[in-house]
Structure 1
């Protein structure tokens, strides 16, 4: 068990180091040597977990969507809002998420498949929109798959603009404004009036998601100890 935990810590340290280097350098100019130096691990340890720079980049891309999820809400539109706001909070506070977004938006990352985060985000929001539609929360003209792509695409543009202008310092404000412009075109007025779009909600949702993740981890550890 101790060896397994050490391997998990090593993998995490390598991913965090890769995230820092990718965020600072971009994919093309980042090197394995710099990632090794930042992580403080041997080449053998790195290649035990990751076969190449591309493999490392895919690990960082995947890590941005892991660990924290928004719990079920009675209103699926509020659930979508909270999903967007949680990602916004993590983008401001989590270097792994920032690096993943940097890689996703890096048009100079030739040969790197950057489609994964876009596809997974769009699919998750499509599912939430379909549930909202079934509950009567959406306006009649809404096509969930199309709207999901619009939400993901506009968010990508807004976060990119915020990164260029203020290094994400104004991201919460920009995302809140985006939602206030976008949601009236897809959501029933009665639902719209009940939504919490406050700028402080991101930290609240983050703490809630963190408590759930910690509870699930403790439960999993207890089950493992009984085996």
Structure 2
């Protein structure tokens, strides 16, 4: 058991060192040598857990992989809002999340499969919207597949702008603004008035779902 615990701690130390290095330098410029220095582990220990730089980068992406789990809600549109709130918060507060997003967006990461996070985010968003439509939360014209694609693309855009301008400090507010523009075009009036978009909700969600 002690050996297993030590292996888990070593793997986590390597992941965090890789996250720090990838966030600072990007995939192409990051080196195994730098990751080893930050992690304080041997090359053998690193390659035991991650056989290559690519596998290490994928490990970082998967460790923060959106969407973060949120508590079940009666209204599925509220779950959709909560998911964006929590991910916005983690981009501002979690190194591992920021590094995973940088890798997912890094166009210099040649040979690295960066599609996973986007596809999983789309599937989860589509699932929530499909349930919301079944529950009568959506206006009749709303297509869950098209709307899920729009949500993922729009969120990707606001997080990129936020990272460039404020290093994610204003992302939570940008996300709320995005929701205030999209929700009136997809939610029924009675559901729209029942949704909680307050900043205080983000704080409560963050307490309920610890970050990496």
Structure 1 segments of 4+ aligned residues over 4 angstroms from their partners = none
How many angstroms does 1:141 deviate by?
1.2
For residues 74 and 160 of structure 1, what CA distance do their matches in structure 2 show?
31
Question: Could you tell me which residue of structure 2 aligns to residue 207 of structure 1?
Answer: 207
Question: Any conservation in 1 of the 2:129–2:144 contact (CA below 8 Å)?
Answer: yes
Question: Could you tell me which residue of structure 2 aligns to residue 125 of structure 1?
Answer: 125
Over the residues paired in the alignment, what is the CA RMSD in angstroms?
A: 1.4
Question: Could you tell me which residue of structure 2 aligns to residue 99 of structure 1?
Answer: 99
Q: 1:49-104 CA deviation, whole Å, 9 max, x = no partner?
A: 00111001101111113795101100000001001101011111110000001111
Structure 1 unaligned regions, length at least 5: 214-227
Question: Could you tell me which residue of structure 2 aligns to residue 220 of structure 1?
Answer: none
Question: Could you tell me which residue of structure 1 aligns to residue 141 of structure 2?
Answer: 141
For residues 146 and 5 of structure 1, what CA distance do their matches in structure 2 show?
45
Question: Could you tell me which residue of structure 1 aligns to residue 178 of structure 2?
Answer: 178
Question: Could you tell me which residue of structure 2 aligns to residue 7 of structure 1?
Answer: 7
For residues 111 and 67 of structure 2, what CA distance do their matches in structure 1 show?
27
Question: Could you tell me which residue of structure 1 aligns to residue 81 of structure 2?
Answer: 81
For residues 11 and 119 of structure 1, what CA distance do their matches in structure 2 show?
26
Q: TM-score, normalised by structure 1?
A: 0.90
Question: Any conservation in 1 of the 2:64–2:97 contact (CA below 8 Å)?
Answer: yes
SS of 1:27's equivalent in the other structure is helix
Please tell me whether residue 162 in structure 1 is matched to residue 162 in structure 2.
yes
For residues 87 and 48 of structure 2, what CA distance do their matches in structure 1 show?
30
For residues 110 and 135 of structure 1, what CA distance do their matches in structure 2 show?
43
Structure 2 unaligned regions, length at least 5: none
Write out aligned runs for 1:183-202 (5 A).
183-202=183-202
Please tell me whether residue 114 in structure 1 is matched to residue 110 in structure 2.
no
Mark the CA change 1:89 to 1:105 in structure 2 (over 3 Å): closer, same or farther.
same
Q: TM-score, normalised by structure 2?
A: 0.96
